[in-house]
Amino acid sequence: MRYLPLLIVTLFVVSCTKSPEKTTAEPTGPKLFTLLLPDETGVTFANNLTEGLNTNVLMYEYFYNGGGVAVGDLNGDGLDDIYFTGNMVPNRLYINKGNLKFTDATAPAGVAGRDGPWTTGVTMADVNGDGKLDLYVCHSGSVRPENRLPELFINDGNDASGIPHFTDRTAEYGLAQPTQSTQGVFFDYDRDGDLDLFQLNHNPRLLPILDPAATSALLREPNSEIGVRLYRNTNNHFTDVTEKAGLSSSALTYGLGAGVSDLNNDGWPDLYLSNDYGVPDYLYLNEQNGHFRDVLKSSLGHISNFSMGNDIADVNNDARPDIMTLDMLPEDNRRQKLLMAPDNYDKYNLSVASGFYHQTMRNMLQLNVGGGQFAEVGQLAGVSNTDWSWAPLLADYDNDGWKDLYITNGYVRDFTNMDFLKYMSDFMQNRPTNPTREDVLELVRKMPSSNVANYMFRNRGRTGGVAQFANVGAAWGITDVANSTGAAYADLDNDGDLDLVVNNANVPAFIYRNDTDKIDGKQRNHYLTVQLTGRGANTQGIGAKLMLHQNGNQQYLEQMPTRGFQSSVSPKLHVGLGQNARIDSLRIVWPTGKTQVLISPKADQVLTLREADANATYKISAPAPALFRETKSPVVFADPVITTNDFKRQPLMVNAQSFGGPCMTKADVNADGLDDVFVGGGSGQAGALLLGQKAGGFSRKPQPAFDTDRACADADAVFFDANGDTFPDLYVCSGGYGDLLPDDNSLQDRLYLNDGKGNFTKTNVLPRMLTSTACVRVADVNGDGRPDLFVGGRVVPGRYPEPPRSYLLVNGKNGTFIDQTAQLAPLLTNIGMVTDAAWADLNNDKKPELVIVGEWMPITILTLTDGKLRNETTAFLGKSQPDYYRGWWNKLLVDDLNGDGRPDLVIGNQGLNTQCRASDREPAELVYKDFDNNGKIDP
């Protein structure tokens, strides 16, 4: 007979050996993108870098950060033009002549900019509100201050040949301030109707991790050349309001990405800033009074470590903008080992203690879950590892209604190559004198170099609220290798799909034609292009929101062309519609709060929306009342700070084992009708008994027996009547890892008897069981009316992942507990590293089954047959393979979830939001032994 209790599988409850299901079929057939050659397009720009004695990556660490690209219609002919920035070569403007043919108009347009290095980012925006796009170009590098002034080119209109002409009016507009700048972002932060400027800057020198006091002092000291700047626009003159606005502008600034979006849906634009070199990012909420407040640490659980470019867009179509940041984690094992230093646990802790944040070197996708909170799901979504990456661009490239992700990638030389770093160290040590510039250049030329492909991820739709992405670079034709940095998307040929423009180092720029409209000789998916005409000085409607509804689905876009890295995309908003050409409604909310709704607008067109036609005022819906509210805890108890570093003991172990406790359990221990609470203590800290009070809250009752056992780490606890006197007694598991020996006396579990008044006395009725245990569960195993115990062993200290002992303790007639494991349940002797367990009558035979889960263990269900526990997992879960449900299980809940009177199981696994993406094709495997014969286990 087979019994099938409900096994719930959710985002965090998945088998380690089962592949996640695809939500839609992967694309087949012709490639979506075609790389057009310079001879075809006329775009010959290449960001060529010349390494020399004073110009190399060891003299200036941002030497390979590359240039940017901006796209927009500069001459008003309906075609988007392209502007490239060159670090050491002249910038270039290409006018779009149609059919993806371009002509170099840099010289007649007057936008070549000053001679010499170092140009970085570029933005197209209508800065003066005259209806024509202007250019803002940033500069940085180890050059004189006058060569680091930004350049603001104001569009004066076209000549007779249709070429726009520009005038440098940087000083006139109040922006002639020398900085180390990455990018300029124009947006209306104060909602006064014109475009203000946020300038993202960076420190050209690497600063070491400082102690908390030094870090705090440095963060309080503004630095106008290195720190970020915010300029308020008043009648086309910009005034620095950085400090007044509350933005941090210290020397601890390594800005590489700036995203603007209404992240909390209050109608005001907020800022997300990416920082390099381990300096935390910033999430600034606009407080609607000219001031911003950094809420990163209260909104995001963790962030990228070397945060590069970023993008903000709604990836799961829930009308909330999500945040994508890039980092440097390679995809494959070889490059990870070649380019990554080992994780430094102590350095991580020092960084956090110094005032930085929880940061890890990988891409992060921060899913906006509302209420000011974000859930980081980059690994779950499949976009966490893309090597040394720069520009993320979220947009619908296949017009299926979901935003895909394009990522530029590459670094000219493998600056972090472990072999090279060892060579450089030896080289420097063997020099008789300090190295000369010639020595440095020789080192640079010894540094390995590699070209890599960029990434394209197709958004496969939403599963459990999370967008799922598939790497379709090869399938879509994104296979050309280079070292790419800035990038932008635009419909360059006005055929209804987004093309790509990419700035490369040392090779010509990429122009990718999107052939979505040509696949199979017909247009596969529909689209809508929306061009905005704002009222007043914000002519492009920067900050406007677009909300489209279609057959029960919704899409949400914001008008913010500056995206990715050092670049700006076309200001025309692009919406893919899938195979359904019918649009139910389209709402535009302008930055002023005015709104208009179009019913059933036609698909497959360029739709122009004018703010002058918007007569209604948009009312922001009040958030739904929260189900829970934070309140002051009535339990006054602080857990100890654990400073143990398990990886020093076993460097190759999969995960630390010293952080399993403490625990909590409740019962009415003094028969006053109120719940009382036992809170377990960590190693060196006694547990505490807190008695419930009639007036509310708890009071701590001294327990000398607990104090005696303060050396133990309380991993789990349960109240039960051990001796039949009707009073709840207390069993406490002793866990821990750290520096414990495998048979350390502090690993002995404990049983405390209650006198009925809440006074507990330690007993010696337990067998000797020196095991780091994880859980204790109570049931009458032998039907004698007395509670027996299952105690799950968690780990053998110092010998992970050797399976520890687990125990079946039978309650004897004289009040002692007898170890009956060998007699009644011998398989418990080495069942595995148990994390949780439960007794439950799963088959309605009036006898409890024992469900056990653990790390590297299959879900195991033991039944009582002839007084012994036998493995009957297959009968309950329906799979004949014993390892089918093997995983990194960590939590078990038994409850009747569907009201049918039978217990169901909810089992928490490691999940898929992790670097270990185990599947049936690529299972996770662990091999361990004493490989180096030093007496220690090496997993």
Segments making up each domain of the chain, as ranges: 33-414+449-527, 528-617
**What CA–CA distance (Å, rounded) separates 818 from 816?**
6
DSSP result, 352-385: HHTT---EESS-EEEEEEETTEEEE-HHHHT-S-
Predicted confidence at residue 11, as pLDDT, reads 30
**What CA–CA distance (Å, rounded) separates 519 from 523?**
7
Predicted confidence at residue 29, as pLDDT, reads 65
Q: Which long-range contacts (CB under 8 A, 24 or more apart) does 470-476 make?
A: 470/22, 470/26, 470/382, 471/382, 472/26, 472/27, 472/32, 475/26, 475/27, 475/28, 475/31, 475/32, 476/27, 476/31, 476/32, 476/33, 476/397, 476/398
**Which uninterrupted H or E stretch holds 346?**
helix 345-353
**What CA–CA distance (Å, rounded) separates 196 from 681?**
54
Q: Which residues pair with 125 in a beta bridge?
A: 134
| 904-908 and 7-8 beta bridge pairing | parallel
**Which uninterrupted H or E stretch holds 455?**
strand 455-463
| CATH numeric code, 33-414+449-527 | 2.130.10.10
Predicted confidence at residue 8, as pLDDT, reads 38
Which letter does DSSP use for residue 144 in this model? -
Q: Which residues pair with 664 in a beta bridge?
A: 679
CATH architecture of the domain covering 528-617: Sandwich (2.60)
User: In terms of residues, how long is the chain?
Assistant: 939
**What CA–CA distance (Å, rounded) separates 186 from 194?**
9
In SS3 terms, 610-637 reads as EHHHCCEECCCCCCCCCCCCCCCCCCCC
Q: Which long-range contacts (CB under 8 A, 24 or more apart) does 75-80 make?
A: 75/158, 75/162, 75/163, 75/164, 76/132, 76/158, 77/162, 78/494, 79/492, 79/494, 80/490, 80/491, 80/492, 80/570, 80/572
Predicted confidence at residue 28, as pLDDT, reads 59
Predicted confidence at residue 14, as pLDDT, reads 37
**What CA–CA distance (Å, rounded) separates 149 from 172?**
13
Copy the structure tokens of residue 218.
């440095």
**Which uninterrupted H or E stretch holds 83?**
strand 81-84
Q: How deeply is 507 buried, as exposed, middle or buried, from its count of CB atoms within 10 A (0-12, 13-18, 19+)?
A: middle
Predicted confidence at residue 551, as pLDDT, reads 93
Which letter does DSSP use for residue 519 in this model? G
From the list 786, 672, 771, the residue with the least C-alpha distance to 720 is 786
Q: How far is CA 697 from the centre of its chain?
A: 38
Q: What sign does the CA torsion over 740, 743, 745, 748 have?
A: positive
Copy the structure tokens of residue 610.
């004018």
**What CA–CA distance (Å, rounded) separates 129 from 194?**
7
Rounded to 10 deg, the angle between the 437-446 and 418-429 helix axes is 150
From the list 392, 401, 547, the residue with the least C-alpha distance to 462 is 401
Residue whose tokens read 């309605």: 844
Copy the structure tokens of residue 9.
């599988």
Which letter does DSSP use for residue 280 in this model? P
From the list 803, 807, 671, 695, the residue with the least C-alpha distance to 751 is 807
**What CA–CA distance (Å, rounded) separates 932 from 567?**
52
Copy the structure tokens of residue 917.
């993406």
| 606-610 and 526-533 beta bridge pairing | parallel
Copy the structure tokens of residue 801.
């992942």
Count of H helices and E strands in the chain?
A: 14, 62
- Series of mean pLDDT values for 10-residue runs along the chain (939 residues): 35 36 52 97 98 93 97 99 98 98 98 94 99 98 94 98 98 97 98 98 82 81 94 98 97 96 98 95 98 98 97 98 97 85 81 89 97 96 96 98 98 89 85 86 91 96 87 97 98 98 98 87 83 97 98 97 99 97 97 98 98 96 85 82 86 88 93 97 94 94 97 97 96 94 96 98 97 98 96 97 97 91 96 98 95 96 95 88 85 96 95 86 88 88
pTM above 0.75, yes or no: yes
From the list 236, 237, 204, the residue with the least C-alpha distance to 223 is 204
**What CA–CA distance (Å, rounded) separates 791 from 224?**
62
**What CA–CA distance (Å, rounded) separates 798 from 776?**
23
Predicted confidence at residue 665, as pLDDT, reads 97
From the list 576, 569, 570, the residue with the least C-alpha distance to 604 is 576
Residue whose tokens read 């035979």: 845
**Which uninterrupted H or E stretch holds 794?**
strand 788-795
The residues near 572 (Cβ < 8 Å, ≥ 6 apart) are 80, 490, 491, 529, 530, 531, 606
The residues near 597 (Cβ < 8 Å, ≥ 6 apart) are 585, 586, 587
Q: Is the peptide bond before 448 cis (omega within 30 degrees of 0)?
A: no
Please provide residue 421's backbone torsions phi and psi, each rounded to the nearest 5 degrees: -60, -35
From the list 466, 543, 450, 443, the residue with the least C-alpha distance to 505 is 450
Residue 700 in contact with residue 692, Cβ under 8 Å? no
**What CA–CA distance (Å, rounded) separates 229 from 219?**
15
Please provide residue 231's backbone torsions phi and psi, each rounded to the nearest 5 degrees: -115, 130
Q: Which residues pair with 212 in a beta bridge?
A: none
From the list 118, 168, 166, the residue with the least C-alpha distance to 139 is 118
Residue 539 in contact with residue 131, Cβ under 8 Å? yes
